[in-house]
Amino acid sequence: MDLPQIYQLSEMLEFCRKTRENRQTIALVPTMGALHQGHLSLVEHAAQLADRVVVSIFVNPTQFAPHEDFAAYPRTLGEDAAKLAQYPAVVIFAPQTSELYPSGFQTVVANEGLGLTLCAKRRPQLFRGVCTIIAKLCNITRADFLLFGRKDFQQLRVVEQMVADLNFPCTVVGSPLVRARDGVALSSRNVFLSQEQRQEARMISQGLWRARDLFQGGERRAQPLLAAVANAIAEAPGLAVEYLWLGRWDTLEECVELSVPGIILCAVHAGTVRLIDNIELGL
Ligand code: AMP
């Protein structure tokens, strides 16, 4: 079956208008492509929620700093379309950068709370770029549901905050984190890992699972929980921790001791590849 692929903004606006006219609901799954099973799990979730699923495939330049991997980011539209062909509800939206950011573009959406912490300390442009593109995609599609992976947990919370603060008429849905068989969280950037780095990357999930085991054994203090993760990562000499953090699951406030459900978030570098991961505690 030929999967509908829309490249032009006007065509996407028309598709969404007609879908609404037919009283069908729309779920939006924003992606940067190079699709893997993590993305496909969002698509499957979206297809349960809405009649049509718009999967946007757009490597968003505004969320990358000049020194980051925008140019090198994997672009595999043909393969992505083949992977999505199994979902009859899907339409792909793969716009041109020049149509989403025409010359003269001036407006950004910035979260000035959660969007300034954790990943944003090293990547200050990240959530400003994310909020801006998601706001645009929401306005273009007027989607009823917005699907995000819990792998990028801070992003999920920042988008939820934006949707609440700016009264977007849609529901944000967080979908479970998907891991490879070796425990590594699936990510489009994993293709850049050497075999050795891939082996080492396993220590991140190993550490997170050790912390979860401690938590399940009754430990609530941040120090030992985070030490369990740090010690596992330290077993892999090629890994460097950017941040390792524990806080409340709902508000992402940092905690020294958990009295409510929590989450450990981390960013770890394997050479030039930046990996983020997390584990939810107590849900
Ligand atoms: P990206 O293409 O990396 O911008 O990701 C697009 C969407 O897929 C985001 O909502 C991510 O959180 C989600 N995603 C990426 N990797 C995973 C994963 N391993 N498990 C669940 N969701 C994921």
Using DSSP, state whether 27 is helix, strand or coil: strand
pLDDT the model gives residue 1: 54
With vertex at residue 12, the alpha carbon angle to CA 10 and CA 18, rounded to the nearest 5 degrees, is 105
Using DSSP, state whether 162 is helix, strand or coil: helix
User: What CATH architecture applies to the domain 5-175?
Assistant: 3-Layer(aba) Sandwich (3.40)
What six digits make up the tokens of 96?
A: 């041109």
Q: Whose alpha carbon is nearest atom 19 of ligand 1?
A: 186
Q: How far away, in angstroms, is 217 Cα from ligand 1 center?
A: 30
In the sheet that 273-281 helps form, which strands lie side by side, from edge to edge? Answer: 239-248, 262-270, 273-281
Q: Are 40 and 85 in contact (CB under 8 A)?
A: no
Specify the amino acid at residue 171: T
29-76 tens-digit pLDDT: 999 999 999 999 999 999 999 999 999 999 999 999 999 999 999 999
Task: Kindly indicate whether the domain formed by 188-275 is annotated with CATH number 3.30.1300.10.
Answer: yes
What residues are in contact with ligand 1 under a 6 Å CB criterion? 31-32, 38-39, 41-42, 148-149, 151-152, 175, 177-178, 185-188
pLDDT the model gives residue 87: 98
Place of tokens 């950068």: 97
pLDDT the model gives residue 174: 98
148 Cα nearest atom in ligand 1: 10
39 is catalytic: yes
d(CA 178, CA 39): 9
176 Cα nearest atom in ligand 1: 21
d(CA 60, CA 255): 33
% residues pLDDT > 70 (the chain): 99
Q: Where are the beta strands (DSSP E) in 140-238?
A: 145-149, 171-175
The 10 Å Cβ neighbour count of residue 106 is 4
Quick check: 209 pLDDT over 90?
A: yes
User: What b-and-e string marks burial along 217-226, b requiring 16 or more CB atoms within 10 Å of the CB?
Assistant: eebbebeebb
32 Cα nearest atom in ligand 1: 2
pLDDT the model gives residue 3: 80
pLDDT the model gives residue 283: 72
CA distances from 39 to 1, 12, 83 (A): 20, 21, 10
Across residues 71-100, what is the average pLDDT?
97
Pocket test for ligand 1, best of 29, 31, 54, 173 (most atoms within 8 A of CB): 31
Across residues 224-228, what is the average pLDDT?
98
Residue 238's pLDDT band, with cuts at 50, 70 and 90, is very high
Domain boundaries, the chain: 5-175, 188-275
Beta bridge partners of 160: none
pLDDT the model gives residue 2: 67
User: What DSSP character marks residue 254?
Assistant: B
- The overall average pLDDT reported for the chain is 97
pTM of the model: 0.98
Residue 9's pLDDT band, with cuts at 50, 70 and 90, is very high
Helices (H) and strands (E) in the chain, counts: 9, 9
